[in-house]
């Protein structure tokens, strides 16, 4: 594997930002996600976007695949509102928000809440 650039929800700022994905930062093929504020987090602990999502400008995309811990999520824009759902969970975890950063934060909180009780 190698280092690459992508997008992720910065846990410090609460915003979706461009980040560097640094291979082997935490050991054999364990990526660190480095943001411009110099914070680095294990990739598993950061909501990250499918790298292929960003081949097009974010403002023209309607559906995003995101990953957090062991969950795969879909975020979709419909009628000016962001809707998010977890794809690989037996129980429905979903959230709705007005913008991309907010829906990402909602998804992280929903998954963390789910993990605390299961």
Q: Do 83 and 104 belong together in one domain? A: yes
Please compute the mean of the pLDDT values over residues 23-33 and round it to a whole number: 93
Residues with Cβ within 8 Å of 10's Cβ and at least 6 positions away in sequence, in order, are: 16, 17, 19, 35, 37, 39, 46
The pLDDT, as a whole number, for residue 114 is 86
Domain count, the chain: 2
- Mean pLDDT for the stretch of residues 36-61: 76
Provide, rounded to the nearest whole percent, the portion of the chain with pLDDT above 70. 84
Residue whose pair of structure tokens reads 């680095």 in the numeric block: 40
Global pTM value: 0.82
**In the structure, how many helices (H) and strands (E) does the chain have?**
1, 9
pLDDT digits 0-9 by tens, 65-91: 889 998 888 888 777 777 888 877 766
Domain range enclosing 42: 4-48
Average pLDDT of the residues in 16-29: 92
Task: Indicate whether 28 and 71 sit together in one domain.
Answer: no
Instruction: Give pLDDT, residue 73.
Output: 87
The residue from 28, 48, 68 where one domain ends is: 48
Residues 14 and 60 in one domain: no
Q: Are residues 58 and 108 in the same domain?
A: yes
**Rounded Cα–Cα distance for residues 43 and 48 (Å):** 8
Same-domain status, 93 and 35 = no
């Amino acid at each position: 594997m190698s280092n690459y650039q992508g997008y992720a929800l910065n846990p410090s700022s609460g915003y979706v930002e461009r980040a560097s994905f640094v291979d082997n930062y935490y050991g054999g093929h364990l990526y660190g996600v480095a943001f411009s504020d110099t914070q680095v987090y294990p990739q598993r602990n950061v909501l990250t976007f499918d790298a292929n999502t960003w081949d097009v400008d974010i403002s023209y995309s309607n559906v995003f695949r995101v990953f957090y811990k062991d969950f795969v999520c879909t975020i979709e824009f419909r009628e000016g509102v962001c809707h998010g759902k977890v794809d690989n969970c037996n129980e429905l975890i979903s959230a709705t928000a007005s913008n991309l950063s907010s829906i990402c934060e909602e998804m992280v909180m929903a998954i963390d809440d789910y993990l605390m009780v299961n």
